[in-house]
Chains A and B, each alone.
Chain A
Amino acid sequence: MSDKSELAVVHAGFPSPAEDFMDVALDLNKELVKNPSSTFFARVKGVSMIEDGVGDGDMLIIDKSAEPTDGCLAVCFVDGEFTLKRYRNMGDYALLMPANKDFKPIRVDADNQFAIWGVVKYLVKKV
C-alpha cells in the first residue's frame, strides 16, 4: 500500500515550470554536419599545418560539395595522395600553402594530377 501512495505523491507533484519552455537538446551532429550527403570525416597525419592549429591525429569534417575559395583549408589530391593545405588560386597554377616554416609551398599546374577533394568545415581536436 505504501508503494502506491508514494507513486501518487510523485504524480500529484507540481508540474515542471520548464514544461512550457521545452526545447530540443543541442545536437552537435546537426550543428557540424549541414549536409550529411556530402560530409565526410578524415584523420590527419603529420605536422605541416601546425601553425594553423592542425596537428597529428586531429579529425576533419569535410564538405565535398563546397566551392573552394582562395585561402580555404582544402583536402587536396596531389599525385596519388590526399594532403591538407591552404589553397591559393594563382590563375594558371595553384599554390598549396603549408603552415609550418619547415615546409615549402607546393606548386601545382596542369602537369600534376590534382583535384580539390573537399573543403574543411570544422576541425575536431582532442585535448
Chain B
Amino acid sequence: MAFIGLCDCNNFFVSCERVFRPDLERRPVMVLSNNDGCVVARSNEVKALGIKMGTPLFQVRDLVKKHNIAVFSSNYQLYGDMSHRVMNILRKAAPSIEVYSIDEAFLNLDEMPMDKLQPFARDLSARIRREVGIPVSIGVSPTKTLAKIASKLCKQYPALKGGCLMYRTQDVEKVLATFPAGDIWGIGRKSNAKLHSMGVESALDFYNLPPAEVYRTFTVTGLRTWKELHGEPCIGFEDVQPDRQTVCISRSFAKEMTTLEELDAAVSTFTGKVAEKLRAAKQCAQQMSVFILTNRFREDAPQNFQMKTTLFEVATDDTLEMSERAAQMLRQIFRRGFAYKKAGVMVTKLTPKRGVQQSFMDTLDRDRRAQLMDAIDAINRTEGNYTVRLASQGEMDQFSARTMTSRKFTTSWDEIMEVKL
C-alpha cells in the first residue's frame, strides 16, 4: 500500500501572528481580509465563540470587545515567508511534495515503510513547531481525500501530537461516522444540499451509498471521491504545477475612486503585477481584460460595471506594452460621476513563452524588451519589490486599508523583532 500525507497548518494566519506574540497563545485571535472587511482566520477560541469564516467585522464588534479578541489586518508578507519556511522543511523531509495552498501541502510517502509512517508524521509536526513556531496537522492515508480527514483528526485529538496515520477499514469507518459529509474534500455546497435531501449526513452515509447511485447523482467526480474514501487513489500526485490558464489581479479599494488618475495608478500597478507573474511562470498572454466596478452594496449611488478585452497580435509578458494597452482600455470604459470600488486586470489565452508565435508585422524588438524585463525583475528580486517600476505604477499595498497590521518581521529590516535588554 502506498501512502500520501497532508500537512495542514493550524489556523495558519493566526498561528503566524502568535509566533511573534506569545502572549496571545491562549487569547482569542482573528485575522481580517484585505481592507479589514471580514474574518479570514480564527483561533480555536474564536471558533468556539461561534464566529464564522467570512463574517463582516462590524457584525462582531460587540463580541470582540466582550471577549477581548485580538484583531489583526492580514499581513501577507509575513504569512508568505512563514509558509516558505514550512514548505522548505517539508521538501527536505519528503521525497516530493505538492504545495496545495499557502498553508497546505501533500507529501509523497510511497517509499516509506509502514511502521515508520506514524512516527514520521509526529516528528515532522514537532519539528515544524520547534523550528518555525507553527502548529501543523499531518494526516497520512492511502488517498488524498482520506489524508485530509486524518489531518483534521489531529486537530480534534491533541493526543495524536499532530500526526495521524489512518488506513485500516475499521478505523476509517469509525472516523467517517463522526465526520460531516459536507466537510469531505471535493464535496461542494451544491452536492452537500443534494446529499441532505437524500438523507446523507455523515461521511459514512456517503461511503455506504452504492457506487452506481453515487455515479448517477454526482457524476464521475463524486464517484472519484467515493472511491478515495474506500482507499482507492484516484487523485494523482502533482509535484509539478500545471500551467496556469489565467492570471487575475484585482482589489477592492479602501476608499472609492472617482477620477481617472486614481484608477490609472491602480490599473497600471495591477498590470505590472500580472506581467511579473507571467514572466515568473514563463508564460505569455494573448488576451487581456480590464474591469472596473462601483460599490454594489450602496443603493444610494449610481451603479456601473465595465469591462474591456483586447487581443495581442503577438502573445506578450511585457510590462510596458501591457500597461499602455491597459491604460487605453481604462480610458474607454471610465465614466465620470461614478464612485468605483474595485478594479482588476486579467489575462487569458496563455501560452508558454518558448512557443510564442512571432509576427512579421511586429513593431517591437522583443528580444531587447525581454532583456529589459529580465533586468528589471533581477533588480526587484535583489533590491526589493518596486525598486524599478513605471512612473504610473504604485505598490499593491496602497490600495488596501489595513489598520491593524503586525510588522513584516521576516521581510523588512526596518520591522524585525525588537528585544529589550
Interface 1/0 per residue, B45-88 and A, CB below 8 Å: 00000000000000000000000000000000000000001101
> What bracket does the count of chain A residues touching chain B fall in?
20 to 34
A residues 24-68 with Cβ under 8 Å of B? 35-38, 40-50, 54, 56, 59-60, 64-65
Q: Is B242 located at the chain interface by the 8 A CB criterion?
A: no
Q: Is A84 located at the chain interface by the 8 A CB criterion?
A: yes
- Is B22's CB under 8 angstroms from A117's CB? yes
Whole-angstrom CA separation of A38 from B134 in the bound complex: 11
Q: Is B89 located at the chain interface by the 8 A CB criterion?
A: yes
- Is B130's CB under 8 angstroms from A82's CB? no
B residues 405-421 with Cβ under 8 Å of A? 409-410, 413, 416-421
Whole-angstrom CA separation of A96 from B241 in the bound complex: 49
- Is B131's CB under 8 angstroms from A60's CB? no
Surface stretch bound by B, among A1-9, A10-18, A73-81: A73-81
B residues 79-103 with Cβ under 8 Å of A? 85-86, 88-89
> What bracket does the count of chain B residues touching chain A fall in?
20 to 34
B133, B416, B421: most-surrounded residue (chain A CB, <10 A): B421
- Is B418's CB under 8 angstroms from A43's CB? yes
Nearest residue, chain A, Cβ from B414: A43
- Residues from chain B with a CB closer than 8 A to the CB of A75 are 419
- A residues at B contact (CB < 8 Å): 35-38, 40-50, 54, 56, 59-60, 64-65, 75, 77, 80-84, 98, 113, 115, 117
- B residues at A contact (CB < 8 Å): 22-23, 85-86, 88-89, 127, 130-133, 409-410, 413, 416-421
A-B contact pairs, 30 of them (CB 8 A): A35-B131, A36-B85, A36-B88, A37-B88, A37-B131, A38-B85, A40-B409, A41-B410, A42-B416, A42-B419, A43-B419, A44-B419, A44-B420, A45-B418, A45-B419, A48-B421, A54-B421, A59-B416, A64-B131, A64-B132, A75-B419, A77-B22, A77-B23, A80-B23, A81-B420, A83-B419, A83-B420, A84-B419, A84-B421, A98-B421
Task: For the A-B complex with A45-B419, A46-B421 known, give 11 more contacts whose Cβ atoms are closer than 8 Å.
Answer: A37-B132, A38-B130, A38-B131, A40-B409, A40-B416, A44-B421, A46-B420, A49-B421, A50-B421, A56-B421, A64-B131
